[in-house]
Amino acid sequence: MITNKIIDDFIDKIPPKPDILQATVKILNDGNLAKAAKVAEEDLALKAYLCNLVNKPIYGFKNEVCDIGQIFGILSLSGSQQTVYNYMLSLLCPKKWELFNLNENSFYELQANLSLHWKKILDFLNINDKDIESAITLLPASIIVTEALFSTKKEDVKLLRSVNSLDYNTILIRLCNTSLFDICNKIATKWDMSEQIQQIVYASSGINPSKDKQINSLAKWMHLLLFYELSQPTFVEAQLNDFIDFQLEYVQDIYEDFTKVMEL
């Protein structure tokens, strides 16, 4: 049903970073927020995305913020880099969702929730690393990949899920011997994201733990965060609550700490 050629064709269709995005990411990597904001202003679609994302209620701003320099200043260096990565992933979003009951606004909401809560987790862990902070941006990519690969085969996928109660990631593994997280790492490679980001995201599936202690620890937090967010009412309605198989044993040692962090 889903062949490796279909997957390869999907990866080939992923656009490279446009010139303005490449320049913005490079300047952010160099630590120059003001210059990065000036360059980002030239991309009207990026500017609209930043304004839409940052002015969502979860950020808590009373007045609308649409100046890119101000947005980057509010988000800080690592947050700005992460938000630009989020935008890059939004370029892959379908105009109309067929498999999941999502739309542009609900997908942006998911991105914002994951980003803010991931930052909260990293603060709790006393980790200040812009690459690690950006790792969370690839989790929504797995949802986009699932939508793209399964949307034209909805009835077949529905039958597999009803008979065996399989999550989408397990279905893809059984059909093609590859996971959604493998594909996300191919996206990360195409966009020149760091090896560290790829390792964290790959291990966050919960079924391929890393031998690196820090990477595996962060992957546990990421796995639990994804399950937490997709269990919220909006995303249950979007039929995302069975997106991956929750690996309770994998995250058991951090579960209490995670609950405390989410209550902060």
The CATH number of the domain holding residue 113 is 1.10.3210.10
Q: What H or E segment, with its residue span, contains residue 184?
A: helix 180-190
Tokens linked to 118: 């991931």
Q: To 10 degrees, what angle do helices 168-176 and 180-190 make?
A: 80
pLDDT at 195: 92
pLDDT at 16: 67
pLDDT at 152: 84
Q: Structurally, how many domains does the chain consist of?
A: 1
Residue with tokens 């962060």: 218
Q: Which residues contact 41 (CB under 8 A, 6 or more apart)?
A: 47, 68
pLDDT at 21: 86
pLDDT at 105: 86
pLDDT at 127: 94
C-alpha 99/C-alpha 77 separation (Å) is 35
Q: How many CA atoms lie within 13 A of 202 on its CB side?
A: 20
Low-confidence ranges of the chain (pLDDT < 70): 1, 15-17
Q: Domain residues for 224?
A: 4-263
Nearest of 263, 204, 15, 229 to residue 107 by alpha carbon: 229
pLDDT at 201: 94
pLDDT at 9: 84
